[in-house]
């Protein structure tokens, strides 16, 4: 939606960091201060206006402490630095927050930017306020590679603090709002970076928490910085429209009120116009001009109870024509941020489209202030008692943060946070009627992981509204989705990660993929160790290996097996750690290939067969791949080469590439084919074809391969002479007999001059 991101560089700079804040600037020659700063008694009066029992002494002590702590520090505007936390506290009084939140707002920069410490804050103001201030303090001296990683770590710290206490989020949003209101004094480069971060993270986060008014102001302030020309154009058009329709808004309000009153409904009706950013994004998303927008003005009908809301809906629909497809009932199906209203659009007075939102007074408070409208953080009692009053939005946020915190690295955490927190929603149902809320454009894979991670990992198919459909199918509002699972699938295909939309699904797929790869390496490591111990005629036991873990600098048996499978640890080192008197069997340095070739030509003795590693193909439980320039197929005599971090590469014994490994005998493995005749698999092979240049020659070659059940994976063509073309064809075949039959049929074609197999 951020239309101004024209280049990858701009995208990279989009969210610099929670680690870089505009309010930390100290200037040597400050500009002239802009105005009178709020006084102590002003703040106390603001709090007392909604909380007569406020602790005035606590507020006064916090005011004085913060003012002294920040001392002579100034902001980029020239104002005393203390004016910033004071304005943040003032914003929060507008949300009618408790004393602890107001005090934490006054102190929120003291630990980070002054000599104050957490211990001192705890001692003077108590542990509760100290924890809030600590949660708002950014990490310092991060030894991380990138600015984005630093941002992600600070964002992770902030979100984890929010999971413990939602007041951290409210203070942070107010902090960002005041910074955005004074962004004009920040240098242009930082100004743009901060605005992009606000639009990418803080505005959507406010929206997710139901704080729509704060979200709209943050979006508009960011829009004004990021694209001032577009902002000015939209603002001018909106102002001109307001002048033309000055009387129309009042007329619609009056007519709505009279009609509702005539039907015995006491309602508060008021109109409001959409903000410039909202208008612009809709124009961009739908590729329409300003004149084509029909819902620039919206009207809210606020009533006493839910029954009155539905009665009002009936009055509206029987008075004016309804616009089809523009009705949504968020009272019966609330949004995940607790938003509840009935939305409808009618053709009202003057043939104007009128968008209406019908709600109760309580719903209106939640729509405007979101989680700030909930009272759980204002009440006393134990954490358990407070959680009884927890909003759905915050409960969802806590759950989401728990999932995100499992990300493997900072950048992955940041990616998942943006994916998970900042999308509009669609609502779908399980066959049992459970409601699942998902982002727009989500598919069945996302749905499966939203139900349960195990359901996602074992999903093999689905039904949407009773009909079979692909797992990649995009879901629509109201879809009933049945996910079909199989116990045979314990891990999802790694390609699903690119299809998934939600951060939860992507994180789960990555975890499952990592676990599957780790299991593969552990299996390979165990086979390598078993092979060495069998050849050396020494006993292997997990208990004995467990006792040797300190000598191997590993914490578990699985870590040892994985390290051996990855090639990071030699099996001989494991044997030596378990049996200090073990002497490693050495191969003749330059005889490796010849020795293994001889062994490959000889059927394995039963005693040796147990130590030979079986190869079952690309889909094996072992991390196996085939020679990159030619592959290998059943029927070939093969050897395995261990590549650290990559597993085993299988080569035909005649491959010239094996010369590169003759100086590293410890990397050579005895391997054998282990083919299941009931479940044939294809294997990679490469052939070189010299064909005559004439129309249709390539088609004839492809037809021969297709008729003999071969699969062409890739073709490379090069012109060697005017009469002949050289084709390098990567095939997938079942075995050496299958490959030989295809080569024989190609040689029988008149358009083919020569065919030979490539052994890379």
> Rounded to an integer, what distance in angstroms lies between the CA atom of residue 196 and that of residue 317?
42
Q: What is the mean pLDDT of residues 726-732?
A: 90
Residue with tokens 């009692």, as numbered in its chain: 381
* DSSP-derived pairing of the beta strands 624-626 and 353-360: unpaired
Assess contact for 323 and 378: CB atoms under 8 A.
Answer: no
> Rounded to an integer, what distance in angstroms lies between the CA atom of residue 139 and that of residue 148?
14
**What Å distances lie between residue 622 and 560, 619, 639, 640, CA to CA?**
16, 8, 15, 12
Torsion of CA 155, 156, 162, 164, to 10 degrees: -160
**φ, ψ (nearest 5 deg) of residue 272:** -150, 155
Q: Cα 166 vs. chain centroid, distance in angstroms?
A: 22
- Provide the sign of the torsion angle of the four alpha carbons 369, 371, 372, 375, taken in this order: positive
Angle between helices 127-135 and 147-164 (to 10 degrees): 150
Query: pTM, whole model, 2 decimals?
Result: 0.55
Token couple for 204: 């959507």
CATH annotation of 235-372: 3.30.460.10
Q: Is 646 a catalytic residue?
A: no
Q: Is 112 a catalytic residue?
A: yes
> Rounded to an integer, what distance in angstroms lies between the CA atom of residue 329 and that of residue 423?
19
Tell me which of 188-192, 294-298, 488-492 is least confident: 294-298
Hey, which residues does 133 pair with through a beta bridge? none
What is the length of the chain?
A: 760
Tell me which of 190-194, 253-257, 261-265, 387-391 is least confident: 387-391
Model pLDDT for residues 190-220, shown as the tens digit of each residue: 888 889 888 887 888 888 777 888 989 999 9
Assess contact for 256 and 299: CB atoms under 8 A.
Answer: yes
CATH annotation of 8-221: 1.10.3210.10
Token couple for 189: 């480069």
Say which of 112, 295, 482, 666 is annotated catalytic: 112
Residue 511 buriedness (CB in 10 A; 0-12 / 13-18 / 19+):
middle
Tell me which of 146-160, 185-199, 351-365, 521-535 is least confident: 146-160
> Is the per-residue pLDDT at 27 higher than 90?
no
User: Average pLDDT, whole number, for the chain?
Assistant: 79
Domain ranges of the chain: 8-221, 235-372, 586-679, 683-757
The answer to whether 235-372 and 683-757 have equal CATH topology is no
- Predicted confidence at residue 375, as pLDDT, reads 46
Domain 683-757 has what CATH class? alpha beta
Q: Cα 746 vs. chain centroid, distance in angstroms?
A: 50
Model pLDDT for residues 68-116, shown as the tens digit of each residue: 999 898 888 888 999 999 999 999 998 888 899 999 999 999 988 888 9
Say which of 23, 98, 99, 113 is annotated catalytic: 113
């Amino acid at each position: 939606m951020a239309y101004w991101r024209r280049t990858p560089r701009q995208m990279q700079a989009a969210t610099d960091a929670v680690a870089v804040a505009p309010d930390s600037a100290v200037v040597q020659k400050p500009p002239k201060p802009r105005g009178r700063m709020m006084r102590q008694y002003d703040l106390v009066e603001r709090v007392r206006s909604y909380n007569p029992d406020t602790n005035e002494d606590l507020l006064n002590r916090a005011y004085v402490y913060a003012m002294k702590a920040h001392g002579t520090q100034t902001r980029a505007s020239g104002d005393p630095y203390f004016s910033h936390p004071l304005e943040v506290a003032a914003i929060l009084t507008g949300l009618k927050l408790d004393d602890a939140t107001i005090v934490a707002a006054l102190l929120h920069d003291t630990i980070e930017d002054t000599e104050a410490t957490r211990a001192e804050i705890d001692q003077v103001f108590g542990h509760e306020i100290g924890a809030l201030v600590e949660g708002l303090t950014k990490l310092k001296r991060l030894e991380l590679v990138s600015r984005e990683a630093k941002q992600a770590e600070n964002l992770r710290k902030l979100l984890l603090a929010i999971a413990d206490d939602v007041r951290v989020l409210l203070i942070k949003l107010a902090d960002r709002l005041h910074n955005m209101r004074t962004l004009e004094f920040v240098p242009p480069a930082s100004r743009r970076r901060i605005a992009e971060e606000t639009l990418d993270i803080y505005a959507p986060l406010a929206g997710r928490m139901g704080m729509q008014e704060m979200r709209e102001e943050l979006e508009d302030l960011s829009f004004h910085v990021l694209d001032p020309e577009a902002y000015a154009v939209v603002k001018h058009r909106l102002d001109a429209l307001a002048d033309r329709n000055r009387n129309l808004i009042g007329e619609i309000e009056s007519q709505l009120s009279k009609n509702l009153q005539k039907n015995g409904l006491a309602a508060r009706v008021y109109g409001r116009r959409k903000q410039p950013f909202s208008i612009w994004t809709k124009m961009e998303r739908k590729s329409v001009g300003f004149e084509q927008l029909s819902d620039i003005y919206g009207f809210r009908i606020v009533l006493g109870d839910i029954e009155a809301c539905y009665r009002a809906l009936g009055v509206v629909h029987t008075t004016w024509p309804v616009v089809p497809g523009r009705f949504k009932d968020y009272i019966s199906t609330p949004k995940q941020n607790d938003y509840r209203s009935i939305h409808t659009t009618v053709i009202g007075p003057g043939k104007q489209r009128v968008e209406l939102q019908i709600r109760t007074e309580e719903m209106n408070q939640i729509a405007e202030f979101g989680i700030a409208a909930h009272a759980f953080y204002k009440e006393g009692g134990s954490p358990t008692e407070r959680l009884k009053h927890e909003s759905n939005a915050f409960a969802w946020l806590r759950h989401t943060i728990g999932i995100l915190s499992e990300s493997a690295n900072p950048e992955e955490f940041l990616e998942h946070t943006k994916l998970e927190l900042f999308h509009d929603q669609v609502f779908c149902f399980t066959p049992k009627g459970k409601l699942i809320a998902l982002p727009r454009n989500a598919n069945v894979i996302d749905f499966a992981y939203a139900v349960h991670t195990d359901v996602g990992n074992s999903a093999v198919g689905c039904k949407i509204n009773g009909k079979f459909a692909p797992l990649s199918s995009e879901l629509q509002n109201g879809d009933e989705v049945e996910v079909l699972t199989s116990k045979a699938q314990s891990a999802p295909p790694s390609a699903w990660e690119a299809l998934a939309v939600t951060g939860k699904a992507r994180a789960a797929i990555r975890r499952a993929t990592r676990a599957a790869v780790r299991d593969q390496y552990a299996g390979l490591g165990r086979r390598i160790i078993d092979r060495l111990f069998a050849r050396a005629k020494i006993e292997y036991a997990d208990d004995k290996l467990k006792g040797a873990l300190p000598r191997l600098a590993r914490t578990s048996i699985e870590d040892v097996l994985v390290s051996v499978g990855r090639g990071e640890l030699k099996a001989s080192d494991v044997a030596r750690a378990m049996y200090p008197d073990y002497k490693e069997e050495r191969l003749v340095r330059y005889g490796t290939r010849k020795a293994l070739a001889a062994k490959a030509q000889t059927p394995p003795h039963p005693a040796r067969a147990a130590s030979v590693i079986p190869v079952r193909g690309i889909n094996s439980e072992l991390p196996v791949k085939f020679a990159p320039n030619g592959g290998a197929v059943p029927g070939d005599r093969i050897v395995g080469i261990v590549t650290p971090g990559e597993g085993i590469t299988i080569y035909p014994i005649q491959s010239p590439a094996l010369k590169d490994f003759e100086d590293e005998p410890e990397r050579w493995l005895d391997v054998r084919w282990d083919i299941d005749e009931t479940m044939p698999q294809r294997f990679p092979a490469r052939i070189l074809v010299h064909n005559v240049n004439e129309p249709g020659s390539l088609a004839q070659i492809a037809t021969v391969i297709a008729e003999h059940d071969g699969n062409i994976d890739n073709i490379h063509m090069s012109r060697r002479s005017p009469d002949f073309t050289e084709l390098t064809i990567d095939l997938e075949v079942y075995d050496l007999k299958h490959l030989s039959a295809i080569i024989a049929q190609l040689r029988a074609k008149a358009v083919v001059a020569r065919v030979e197999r490539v052994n890379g």
